[in-house]
Amino acid sequence: MAKAQRFENLLAEARACRRCADRLPHGCRPVLRASVSSTLLIVGQAPGTRVHETGIPWNDASGRRLREWMAVDEETFYDTSRVAIIPAGLCYPGKGRSGDLPPVPECAPLWHGRLRPHLVNVRLTLLVGQYAQAHYLGRRRRGTLAETVRAWREFGPDLLPLPHPSPRNTLWLKRNDWFETEIVPMLRTRVRNALTREARA
């Protein structure tokens, strides 16, 4: 119970973070969910406008496509006892010329560095998009996102890089149709295995 309470206190601290208030045009609203019992961790990029408004992670078209890839329903996806959701940037960064701005770069080193050690039951971490992959893979990333995703075997059994499921990436998915045929079936198997393993006491 003490470990769980310490983690809950840390989550509350993360949700109250205002370090980047002067750089976020829509203000701070950190969006994350996790539990010490979570066995699957999803690391995305940063909340979008709808997620910022609702406070519910992946509550948009990107989330629907991600759940389809994973073959999980909303009840499972939002069950924090099984699934942790912590983006590379906890707050919505605002709009740029070609979509949302990148996550604030200091956010992932600060919060993932503090939160991740508590998630001792996580068996699989999904690295969704280039910013999540940059933080967790570092120099092991390949030259392009497609090359990184295709090299998934190199990152061990606990890390799996994925493209971002945003509708903006529909053209990428059409150009890289191997993702649906080769990667998605494997993703579903690994997600299922991660969710069905019992957490350590």
Secondary structure (DSSP) of 66-132:
HHHHHT--HHHHT-TTTEEE--SSSS---EETTEEPPPPTTHIIIIIHHHGGG-TT--EEEEESHHH
Total-model pTM: 0.95
Within a domain: 156: yes
- C-alpha–C-alpha distance, residues 43 and 66, integer Å: 12
Dihedrals phi, psi of 190, to nearest 5 degrees: -70, -35
Question: Could you tell me whether strands 95-96 and 99-100 are parallel, antiparallel, or unpaired per DSSP bridges?
Answer: antiparallel
Which domain range does residue 165 map to?
2-196
Please report the pLDDT score of residue 3 as a whole number: 85
Q: For position 101, what pLDDT does the model report?
A: 87
In a domain, 129, yes or no: yes
> Does a structural domain hold residue 201?
no
Residue 12: the pLDDT is 97
In a domain, 89, yes or no: yes
CATH code assigned at 141: 3.40.470.10
Residue 39 in domain? yes
CA pair distance 31, 175, nearest whole angstrom: 32
Q: Can you give the pLDDT of all 201 residues of the chain as single tens digits?
A: 588 899 999 999 999 999 998 888 888 999 999 999 999 999 999 999 999 999 999 999 999 999 999 999 999 999 999 999 999 999 999 987 777 889 999 999 999 999 999 999 999 999 999 999 999 999 999 999 999 999 999 999 999 999 999 999 999 999 999 999 999 999 999 999 999 965 554
Q: Can you give the pLDDT at residue 201? A: 40
Is 53 a domain residue? yes
Host H or E run for residue 178: helix 178-178
Domain membership of residue 91 (yes or no) is yes
Question: What type of residue is 58?
Answer: W
What is the count of structural domains for the chain? 1
Residue 127 lies in a domain: yes
